[in-house]
Structures are given as C-alpha cells and as structure tokens.
Amino acid sequence: MSKHGNGYCRATYRCFDDKADFSKKAASIAVGLTVGSWTELPEAKKVEMEKHLGKVVSVTEYEAGGSPSSERCADIVIDYPDVNFSRDIPALLVTVFGKLSMDGKIKLLDLDVSDGFRSAFPGPKFGVPGVRDLLNVHDRPLLMSIFKSVIGHDLTGLKEQFYRQALGGVDLIKDDEILFENPLTPLEKRIETCMEAARQAQAETGQRLLYAVNLTGPTFKLAENAKRAVAAGANALLFNVLAYGYDALYELSRDPGISIPIAAHPAMAGAFYPSPHYGIAAPLLLGKLMRLA
C-alpha cells in the first residue's frame, strides 16, 4: 500500500456536481470531517486545534465533456491527521468517508496511509510470492478452480468433485463462498476428505495444491474455527472479508496460530464499487485495504 509521511493519511475523492464551487466543497470536507468548524473559532483555539485540522492538498476540476466520466466533476485530495483516529481500518474509513459517503455524488478513489498508520499492520503473511513458494510454481500464472453445486451434497460427492478438479492440473481449489457449516460436510470432515483427495491427485500428477476452505461462523468464533481448520490439516482459508469487515481479517492475519494463507473473497463488493458516482473504488476496496489488513 502506498505510504504518505508526515503524520497524515491522504484521501482522494471524485465529486460530481453541475454547479458547485469544488474548492469550497473541498474545504468544507477537510473541516467537517476533522474539527467541525474553523472560521468561528477564536485565534487561540485555532492554534490548539491546528494539529487536528484536515488539509486540502489539491482540487482538479473537469468540465462536462472533458472529464473522466463526461460529467462536471473534480478530484479532491485531502490529508487527515493521524492524531484524529486510532490505528485501525474502521476508524480510518469512518473518518474519511463515513457521513461523507451520504453527501451526494462522491466516490472514494484512493487512500495513502502514513508510515505511522502502516506500521500497525503486518500485511500479508504470504502474498503471491509466498503462495508460489508453497506450490513451487514460479514460471507461470497460477490456476484456481471453484466448487459449485455443492450445497446438499455429502462428503462422497464433494471428494469426487475435488479429485476431478485436482486431476485437471489446478494449483488452488476454493470452496463455494456460500458453503457454510452444515451436517453433510462439516468443517473438519470436509478438510480431511478434500486433503485426502488432494494427496491422491498429487500421487498421479506430482503437483502440489492448496485447498481454501471457507471460514465461516459468527465473528467471535472465527479465530477458533480457523484454528480448528488448521488442526484438521487445512493449508489455506477462504474468507468473505466485506461481510465480516477488514478488522476481522486483521485479527485472523495477525494470529500466530493461523499459519496458512487467507484468500479474500470479493462477495458483496458489488454494493460498493460499480457506480462511478458513489462508493469506494475497486482497487482500494479489494486491493489496498485487504492487503493492508
């Protein structure tokens, strides 16, 4: 994730309006999401509050027909002081885009966090290089296949599906993201069954394979369930990050007892990024923030 020094986290927005003074809009955001008001403050109070005040970095205006979306808009960049929020992603997001997300046509395009904020996060335990090392594949794209039509099937049917996928030469197989804990394919049994199929396939193909089992359950049981999965022999996890929140992913990724890769599923992302006018841009939503967590 890009880093921004000097004790500020930098947010970039795209704001759409046919008539607005975008410079005034930017100033109102910088003040409104930090100290609340500025011009009315006595000079002595301003000195005290200066360290909390958001700062407008730039406003780049585009007239209709000449903008990235053919509408009149502006890209607004604002720095938010680290002193205003704790070192967690929920605090950062609520600061830079909490109530602002409901204030007309405005989209959060990017975030560049400060060195201080970034230092609170360990980042991915494996990343792409680490996954490649686990699979011993360094000279080609990785190939993943996906379980489908597994709800209502028992372990025998699951194993057959898995085995056939593994024989096809894939590097990763992930659970269907809507396969939750159930009596037909409970977590430990599902892992044991699929990992046995993986070993059988590897004996024929010579190819290593990661099975990303879906990590589910109430939030307060996620770490416990992840450790159950590890104990049962899981070598990867699938996690629906946006349903649970970035902080849930952070808690899992920083836990030393969860020592396997976590694959972030984009479920629910369509509620956030597709609109050009609202939400959070996909590279930030699905890229930067997930890797930071």
* Cα 244 to Cα 248: distance, rounded to the nearest angstrom: 6
> What are the φ and ψ backbone dihedral angles of 96, each rounded to 5 degrees?
-85, -20
Q: In terms of DSSP H, where are the helices of the chain?
A: 22-32, 43-49, 89-97, 115-118, 127-135, 155-167, 187-205, 222-231, 241-244, 246-253, 282, 289-292
Q: Cβ of 210: how many Cβ atoms within 10 Å?
A: 22
Check 99, 105, 148, 221 and give the catalytic one. 99
In the beta sheet, which residues pair with residue 262?
Answer: 237
Regarding beta strands 262-265 and 236-240, do their DSSP bridges make them parallel or antiparallel, or are they unpaired? Answer: parallel
Instruction: Specify whether the CB–CB gap between 112 and 3 falls below 8 A.
Output: yes
DSSP 285: I
Q: Cβ of 144: how many Cβ atoms within 10 Å?
A: 14
Catalytic site residue 159?
no
Active site positions, annotated: 99
